[in-house]
Amino acid sequence: MNRVLSFCFFMFLFVGLFSYAQDDLLDELDEEVVDEGTVSSTFKALQIVTLQSTKIAAPGDFYFVVSHRFGTVKNGFSEFFGLDNATTKLGGIYGVTDWMSVGLSRHTLLKTYELSIKYRLVNQSDNFPFTIVGYHSMGANSYIDKDDYENLAFTDRLAYVNQLLISRKISAALSLELAPSYVQKNLYNKDLENDKQFVLAAGSRYKLSNRVSLNLEYGYNFNQPEFYSQPLSLGVDIETGGHVFQLLFTNSQAMTDSGYLTNATGDWGQGDFFFGFNLYRVF
């Protein structure tokens, strides 16, 4: 079933990315086009749901980020549909230049600190069909107790994610993204997972109105053991002035890049998924 779902999703994305490469594409775009035929506002938020988008913070802008993933809704009213078991992410993202931003966040799940950098390589324009962005993050697990691991070094706590984000604004309403991702974990359970994992992720945004969009993302992990699930998330963006508010449902409670891509534990078919939100405030 996972292979069928993966094939259908990526075929949809492949057809969407390459079927509108003709010059008349720009005639279909709305006013969100800047000078010299460069396309803007492919995504309004820095994340599609949890997956990074190709949007980069503008130079001098500081984004304060608050995210929650509640517990599984599967246990129903006894745990108030997951609200009793929330995890939280607090962070900040700063636009260094018009093509690069840096970020720092802290996650309550495994008490993880995460550093990130995002940089634009090329913009979609009338001369090039895609926006391409590089993204790298490093997470440090501070939950691990030295007494539990002999000769534990700081580098053993680290996990790295390297991504190439490739997006295309198909029309005024529809944007698509592919995100080949490589995850390296220095500390991992050999019985459950691999230290090196490759994930091909994809996401989409469909604009419902000037301030609301529907978002979908999915990742296929080629090294995924049966214990974990492939990440699948659905969200809604609501833009309210200086805020972007994202409501979402996902089968991954983890919000770190490595945790989201490789450690999703929920099963949508069993009603085992998590409600959550992302809130961005720009200063």
Q: What is the pLDDT along the chain (283 residues), one digit of tens a residue?
A: 454 444 444 444 544 444 443 333 333 333 344 445 788 889 989 999 999 999 999 999 999 999 999 988 777 666 665 576 789 999 999 999 999 999 999 999 999 999 999 999 999 999 999 999 999 999 999 998 777 777 888 999 999 999 999 999 999 999 999 999 999 999 888 888 889 999 999 999 999 999 999 999 999 999 887 789 999 999 999 988 778 899 999 999 999 999 999 999 999 989 899 999 999 999 8
Write out the two tokens for 182: 């490589």
Instruction: Give, in order, the Cα–Cα distances in Å from 254 to each of 104, 144, 185, 203, 237.
Output: 16, 16, 15, 18, 20
Helix (H, G, I), strand (E, B) or coil at 198: strand
CA distance linking residue 232 with residue 273, whole number of Å: 10
pLDDT for the residue numbered 148 = 72
CB 135 within 8 A of CB 163: yes
pLDDT for the residue numbered 189 = 80
Write out the two tokens for 173: 């309403």
User: DSSP letters of 77-115?
Assistant: GGGGGGGGG-EEEEEEEEE-SSSEEEEEEEETGGGEEEE
Task: Please give the DSSP secondary-structure letter assigned to residue 57.
Answer: P
CA distance linking residue 88 with residue 75, whole number of Å: 20
CB 34 within 8 A of CB 22: no
**Distance, first Cα to last Cα, the chain:** 44
pLDDT for the residue numbered 36 = 57
Helix (H, G, I), strand (E, B) or coil at 272: strand
What H or E segment, with its residue span, contains residue 259? helix 257-262
CA distance linking residue 37 with residue 26, whole number of Å: 8
Task: Please give the DSSP secondary-structure letter assigned to residue 33.
Answer: B
User: What is the reported pTM?
Assistant: 0.85
* CB hemisphere CA count around 95 (13 angstroms): 16
Residue where the block lists tokens 């978002």 = 215
What H or E segment, with its residue span, contains residue 5? helix 2-18
pLDDT for the residue numbered 11 = 43
